[in-house]
């Protein structure tokens, strides 16, 4: 029987830039999975860890950044992981960081760029990340959650 498991998180790192909302895109290092592909912060939920805690931890591990505000994007993507025969669910989050935030990359990534959100959409390799950008703009395009802030803002 195929199992369904919440196994990973995606976290879109955002900041207010001179021209509007910017998203951080990270390029995968050679020698790892998907070398050269661009992605958001992404990682495994560790045993006993909540998706929210995993989003915060992965943000710190992959970029050295801390969220000033963290949002639940009210999205869960999925994929079939043929290696284990599981359907994996991926809750998605958005982390606002300081306007002058500069990432400190882990060994997983060899480059990072701040791009206008629409340009970030085109750069992301995974379709799930490109789809999520529409919700990022819809929910958080004004720099906050607006009428939804009380439900979607985690911290």
pLDDT tens-digit map of 98-129: 999 999 999 999 999 999 999 999 999 999 99
pLDDT computed for residue 134 by the predictor: 93
18, pLDDT greater than 90: no
- Residue 91, beta-bridge partner list: 76
Distance between CA atoms of 6 and 76, rounded to whole angstroms?
9
Rounded to whole angstroms, the Cα distance separating 77 from 132 reads 9
60-106 residue pLDDT tens = 999 999 999 999 999 999 999 999 999 999 999 999 999 999 999 99
CA distance 64 to 102: 9
Residue 61: CB atoms within 10 A of its CB come to 12
């Amino acid at each position: 029987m195929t199992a369904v498991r919440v196994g990973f998180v995606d976290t879109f790192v955002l900041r207010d830039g001179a021209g509007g909302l910017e998203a951080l895109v990270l390029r995968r290092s050679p020698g790892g999975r998907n070398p050269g592909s661009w992605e958001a912060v992404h990682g495994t939920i560790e045993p006993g860890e909540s998706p929210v805690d995993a989003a915060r931890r992965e943000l710190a591990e992959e970029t050295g950044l801390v969220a000033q505000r963290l949002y639940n994007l009210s999205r869960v993507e999925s994929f079939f992981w043929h290696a284990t025969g599981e359907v994996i669910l991926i809750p998605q989050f958005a982390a606002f960081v300081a306007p002058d935030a500069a990432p400190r990359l882990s060994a997983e990534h060899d480059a990072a760029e701040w791009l206008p959100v629409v340009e970030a959409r085109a750069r992301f390799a995974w379709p799930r990340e490109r789809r999520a950008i529409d919700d990022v703009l819809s929910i958080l395009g004004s720099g906050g959650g607006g009428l939804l802030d009380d439900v979607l803002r985690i911290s």
